[in-house]
Structure 1
Amino acid sequence: MKLQISHLKDGLHSDHLLDSASAFGFENPEDFADKIAVTLNIDKRGSDFFIKFQVEAKMVLRCDRCLEPFETTISDHSSALYTTKEEFVSDDSSTYLIRDGDSELEIGTEVREIILLAVPIKALCAENCKGICKCGQNLNKEACLCTKKDIDPRWDALKKLKGLN
């Protein structure tokens, strides 16, 4: 995704982008239920651009407990510096090197990183999701009818002591 900057004068600017996931470089756009919304607050100073990103996307994730697909809204923010000064650029920061006189900035990488880092580590369709039984039944849809209880045979001796056998 390219952001046109040739028309920007020094000072503060705002922009709002709404585009498909593939426009931001995502390989699986089917993981998104809608277009990605990006609000940009741009501070241009000379040939440098400090940009604050606010990103919102509706994604289709799979629940980690029941494996059912569900929609969730991912929303996060970040900032990045696009500069002509090589000494400010490092591998571990959100600082990007641009050439003096560039007419556009590549912002797709930053937007992609914001979204990927905002995806929950444990994706749940609901806080009270019951998950899947060992027999494969989705416990959110109906109760499991399996009667097999997996009990470690090493505990049988304790059952005999307690009289549960």
Structure 2
Amino acid sequence: MKSLKTYSIPFTGLKLGKHLFEYAITDAFFDEFEYSLVKKANLQCTVELDKQETMLILDFKITGSIDLTCDKCLSPYPQPLDIHEQQIAKFADEEIDEDEEIITLKKNDFEINVAGLIYEYVTVAVPFFTRCNDEGNTPYCDKEMLDRLKQLEGGSETNNEQHDPRWDALKKFK
């Protein structure tokens, strides 16, 4: 977790207005999170911090690609990402329970760590079903695996019905 200190932005010494911070997000970043969905990444993150008297407005822009495994052909492929998010951090004495999207900063806080936010934004951007963009036609797609799946898909049902008499007995209950 010591390597995540580089993602801390000390805001106390900054003047009011906009400030730009850039980070390279690589495999080492995701190694810090134990059960990360993402293992390999080549991302660029730009954080624009707008410091105001009562709050900080953080605009995130994350672009690049992460390596995922296709759910269909099981081959690794690069998934492009283009993420734009905004986070508000308010200065307050007490926690604000009204909205979970607002971070509360105490008077003693002098920096904000954006590593958790970056990790969250990238993890949420991972598709639920990961698939190669153009099945069978991309250099990443495993054509042998797709052919084998098609072969098993068509032949398994007919073979089970013909060779297993238990299914015939169960069909009588309909």
TM-score w.r.t. the length of structure 1 is 0.70
Kept in 2, the 8 Å contact 1:54–1:75? The answer is yes
Take 2:12 and 2:72, find their aligned partners in 1: how far apart are those partners?
A: 49
Kept in 1, the 8 Å contact 2:45–2:61? The answer is yes
Shift of 1:93: 2.9
Q: For residue 171 of structure 2, what is the aligned residue in structure 1?
A: none
**Coordinate RMSD, CA, aligned:** 3.7
Take 1:119 and 1:48, find their aligned partners in 2: how far apart are those partners?
A: 30
Match of 2:91 among 84, 93, 96: 84
Seen in structure 2, the aligned counterparts of structure 1 residues 107 and 89 have a Cα distance that, compared at 3 Å, is farther
Structure 2 unaligned regions, length at least 5: 1-6, 163-174
**Aligned runs of 1:99-138 on 2, under 5 Å?**
99-129=106-136, 138=145
Q: For residue 38 of structure 1, what is the aligned residue in structure 2?
A: 45
Count of aligned pairs between the two proteins: 150
Q: Give 1:3's aligned amino acid.
A: I
Q: For residue 50 of structure 1, what is the aligned residue in structure 2?
A: 57
Kept in 1, the 8 Å contact 2:72–2:146? The answer is no
Give the number of the structure whose residues are more often helix, by fraction: 2
Seen in structure 2, the aligned counterparts of structure 1 residues 49 and 147 have a Cα distance that, compared at 3 Å, is closer
Seen in structure 2, the aligned counterparts of structure 1 residues 140 and 79 have a Cα distance that, compared at 3 Å, is farther
Q: For residue 9 of structure 2, what is the aligned residue in structure 1?
A: 3
> The residue matched to 1:139 in structure 2 has which SS?
helix
Kept in 2, the 8 Å contact 1:22–1:29? The answer is no
Kept in 1, the 8 Å contact 2:92–2:107? The answer is no
> The residue matched to 1:115 in structure 2 has which SS?
helix
Determine whether 1:95 maps to 2:102. Answer: yes
> The residue matched to 2:157 in structure 1 has which SS?
coil
Shift of 1:148: 3.7
Q: For residue 166 of structure 2, what is the aligned residue in structure 1?
A: none
**CA offset digits 1:30-82 (Å, max 9, x no partner):** 71243x32111211112521111111242111101111111122221111111
Seen in structure 2, the aligned counterparts of structure 1 residues 82 and 145 have a Cα distance that, compared at 3 Å, is closer
**CA offset digits 1:108-139 (Å, max 9, x no partner):** 12111111111112211233349999xxx502
Shift of 1:88: 7.2
Q: For residue 150 of structure 1, what is the aligned residue in structure 2?
A: 157
% identical equivalent positions: 20
Seen in structure 2, the aligned counterparts of structure 1 residues 87 and 44 have a Cα distance that, compared at 3 Å, is same
Q: Give 1:20's aligned amino acid.
A: T
